[in-house]
Amino acid sequence: MPRSEMQDLGPVAVEAHFDEQGTITPQSFMLHGRRHPVSDVGRRWTDGQGRLHFLVMTPPDRIFEIVFQPANLVWRVVRSPDRPRIV
């Protein structure tokens, strides 16, 4: 998806599960004072700056990109256009 279609929504609080191998799985995030439960986690990747990216789906079929910055332990959200998709 072209970066021009994405909107950085800034830093957010994220509830995530860290398993014994260190795998991170986002469970929910707070955005504009509202908790968004994660119903599905799709692609995940690490960019050239060491940030971990996750494509997540929240009800009703909204796709968000959540980015974890391990260097400063900050999560950010980038939302894709509001249209139903499959993660």
- Nearest-angstrom CA–CA distance, 57 and 86: 8
Q: Global pTM? A: 0.82
Quick: pLDDT tens for 5-55.
Answer: 567 888 999 999 999 999 999 999 999 899 999 999 999 999 999 999 999
Quick: pLDDT tens for 58-68.
Answer: 998 899 999 99
Asked whether 13 and 32 are in contact (CB, 8 A), the reply is no
Residues sharing a CB contact under 8 Å with residue 17, sequence separation 6 or more, in sequence order: 24, 25, 27
